[in-house]
Structure 1
Amino acid sequence: MKLRYITFLFVFSSIFLITASAFSSTNLTGAGATFPTSLYSKWADSYQKKMGAKINYQGIGSSAGIKQIIANTVDFAASDIPLTEQQLLKNNLFQFPTVIGGIVLAINIPGIKSAQLILDGKVLGDIYLGKIKKWNHPEIIALNPEIKMILPDQDIAVVRRADGSGTTFVFTHYLSKKNPEWKAKIGEGSNINWPIGLGGKGNDGVAAFVQRVPGSIGYVEYSYAKQNSLAYTRLLSTNNQSVTPNLTSFESAAKDVDWTHSFAQDLTDQKGDNSWPITAATFILIKKTPKKTNDRRIDVLKFFDWAYRYGAKEAHDLDYATLPDSVINQIRKAWETQL
């Protein structure tokens, strides 16, 4: 059934969302990606204070979130894995992006500070294959001649996700682009057969391992590295330029992407001297047609419409890049025409 009143909803929302008397008792549940958990929690808190509606979001991993929305046990799911048109059709789902963020390599190497160490996709893949075992390996030194004297003769402790993860999907997708052996032997996916590594649950679990284990390296969403005061590396871009992860380099990776035909865009290894190589959008999934009773999709869309309108500062404060206005307008149009 089309949501015929949705156009009215979004014309009205600019007034509705700032009217104190418009408080709602609606409680919504969402689950999925840990990548945007800190932001969704912040948005939910602000939305409840402004609107009175409670949003309960649990960061349980993209794979688990997808399972829950398919099973109709949550009102919305979040995933860093963009589903294909076939997957969306099969499971009666609609998907749209919310924000853009970066996956960084957090490290715990004595004497090495943030953005001091440079890696590239080939070396990174060899580290996660177990081929490069020491921090003073010749290939790492070749990328870091200025700090070669302080790179320790220390074993590399590899940390990765233990659960089904969209962050893992994006990370392994990048490795598959840059390291042919990784692509041939391991490939990409949300839950792969890791050749080595300590497994942490969620971005917070990986960050905790890196924090505790000297000589370690792990991939986490940028805000988790910052929140846990972890050092992180630079990476070489596809233009062979050294790039530091930050809001500007995430935005650079997304600036030339064409969202017109599909919201499922790959932002990894984009052109541009300052484009962070492991950038990704994160997505919301809702049912395309409602249950027979109590259609709560309107309440989900109210929340994310509010976030698009008023949540940019909170997103930027947590180092997530917001979508271009043109893309947000496309999303609202898709809500009107496809739901």
Structure 2
Amino acid sequence: MFMSKKTVALGAIAALAAGAAAPAIAQQQINGSGASFPAPMFATWFDSLRNQDGPNVTYEPVNSAQGIRQLVELEVDFGATDRPMAPRTANLVRRGLVQIPVVAGSIAIGYHKDGCDLKLSQQQLSEVLLGTISNWKTLGCQEGPIKVSTRSDRSGTTLALTKSLSDWSPEFRQTVGTGMRVKFPVGTTSSGNEGVRRFIETTPGSIGYVNVPSIKGKVQAAALQNSEGNYMLPNSATGISALEGIRAAEYKPLAISNPPGRDSYPLVAMSWVLAYENGNGVNTDALKQTFNYMLSNPAQSQADNLGYVPLPESIRKAALDQVQLIKQ
């Protein structure tokens, strides 16, 4: 078919205009912030997306509260948290809110005590964080003061931990309670998961709560007693055991406190991405591609390598349905 030079030129101009108006997803930049707990998992996923010519995702691992605040104030394209937003806070999101669980993780009790193979009952963990147990000898290790490290920032990890401890110990519930930032009777505070990890790494005789990827070098993980009396280490297998009983219709727990199962680890929580339901504009497809990838079987299969827990299939499918609620 014959085409004049003028027709070709107009077609080229139209193509350029279309490209400028709707950039390819591979060129799309989206920005998020929030929980530091899932940050290593997010970094792996976002690198994989970038390498597959997907969206260029930038994520700032601050804390859950900061991610929620920035989402409410329309400063980011998405947020992330270690707990779903409560209805009262969710109503502050003017463009509507979609909450999507993307991965689970065990909250590890990290410690730095050479020659100590630490096993803690739930009561002992509560008493360590209350300061009632203050010497390693009480825990069967070589004598020395216990140096506790906790989070100074508003953290979903702290919320999940204190929720479980309050369920386990009436004294902890009465003395410390549950919250994203609480006042522990003892210890040194540090900002973010990395701050606590660094304190434990550099401080012999210390103990604190961190994500599983932080268990390396001088930072060891304590085995925690579960609901059936068995002492379990935090890993993918014990985390999956803890999640197995959750049905798709009930996939919004704050924390899975004392899950049943002989092999279940007792401190497991899910991490969530928070998206706007409406007003996403040119970012809509990039956001949906990003979240669909995070929930894909190839992405979930990477969780175990980093010490996280892949979502059970029922929860994964329910989460994929949530992604479809994101609109332009």
TM range (shorter): 0.7 to 0.9
The answer to whether residue 54 in structure 2 is matched with residue 64 in structure 1 is no
Choose from 226, 234, 256 the match for 1:245.
234
Worse-matched range after superposition: 326-335 or 279-288: 326-335
Contact 1:157 1:215 in 2 (8 A): yes
In the TM superposition, residue 261 of structure 1 has moved relative to its aligned partner by 4.5
Where do 1:1-339 residues align within 5 Å? 24-91=26-93, 92-112=96-116, 116-137=117-138, 140=139, 148=140, 151-226=141-216, 228-264=217-253, 266-290=255-279, 294-309=281-296, 310-336=298-324
CA-CA distance at 1:135 after TM superposition:
0.8
For the Cα contact (< 8 Å) 1:257–1:265, is it kept in 2? no
* Kept after mapping to 2: 8 A contact 1:243/1:273: no
Deviation at residue 156 of structure 1 after TM alignment = 0.4
Is the Cα–Cα contact under 8 Å of residues 212 and 307 in structure 2 kept in the other structure? Answer: yes
SS at match of 1:251: helix
Q: Note the C-alpha offset of 1:295.
A: 4.8
| SS of residue paired to 1:42 | helix
Q: CA deviation at 1:311?
A: 1.0
Over the residues paired in the alignment, what is the CA RMSD in angstroms? 1.8
SS in structure 2 at match of 1:260: helix
Report SS of the residue matched to 1:273: coil
* One-letter amino acid of the structure 2 residue matched with residue 94 of structure 1: V
Please give the per-residue CA displacement for 1:46-96, whole angstroms capped at 9, x wherever unaligned: 111102421101100111111111111111111002222343234332211
Does the CA-based 8 Å contact 2:55-2:286 persist in structure 1? no
Secondary structure class of the residue paired with 2:189: strand
CA contact (8 A) 1:99 1:320 kept: yes
Contact 1:88 1:94 in 2 (8 A): no
| Counterpart-to-counterpart distance in 1, 2:251 and 2:233 | 29
Judge conservation of contact 2:106–2:309 (CA < 8 Å) in 1. no
SS at match of 1:314: coil
Match of 1:3 in 2: none
Comparing 119-128 and 84-93, the one that deviates more: 84-93
- CA 1:223/1:331 → structure 2, altered by over 3 Å: closer, same or farther? same
Question: Which amino acid in 1 is paired with 2:161?
Answer: F
Aligned mates of 1:60, 1:338 — CA distance in 2 = 24
Paired AA for residue 72 in structure 2: I
In structure 1, stretches of 5+ residues that fail to align are 1-21, 141-147
2:48 & 2:226 partners in 1: Cα distance? 36
Q: Which amino acid aligns with 1:307?
A: M
TM-score, scaled to structure 2: 0.87
Distance 1:220 1:120 in 2: 18
1:304 CA drift (Å): 1.5
Q: CA deviation at 1:258?
A: 2.0
* Percent identity over paired residues: 27
**Matched-pair contact (CA < 8 Å) for 1:99–1:282:** yes
CA distance in structure 1 between the partners assigned to 2:84 and 2:63 by the alignment: 14
Letter in 2 for 1:329: K
Structure 2: runs of 5+ lacking an equivalent: 1-23
Q: 1:337 to 1:203 in 2, by over 3 A?
A: closer
Aligned-partner Cα distance in 2 for 1:189–1:168: 7
Structure 2 CA distance, aligned partners of 1:104 and 1:261? 24
Normalising by structure 1, what TM-score?
0.84
How far residue 119 of structure 1 moved from its aligned partner, in angstroms, is 0.6
Q: Distance in 2 between matches of 1:261 and 1:231?
A: 33
Whether contact under 8 Å (1:44, 1:55) holds in the other structure is yes
Q: Partner amino acid for 1:304?
A: F
State the aligned residue count. 301
CA displacement at 1:213 relative to structure 2: 1.0
Structure 2 CA distance for aligned equivalents of residues 273 and 289 of structure 1: 44
**Amino acid aligned to 2:128:** I
Checking the alignment, whether the CA contact within 8 Å between 2:226 and 2:264 is kept in structure 1 is yes
Deviations 1:178-208 (A, max 9, x none): 1111101210111112222111111111011
- Preserved CA contact (<8 Å) 2:257 2:266: yes
- Which range moved further: 217-226 or 246-255? 217-226
How far is 1:129 from its partner? 1.2
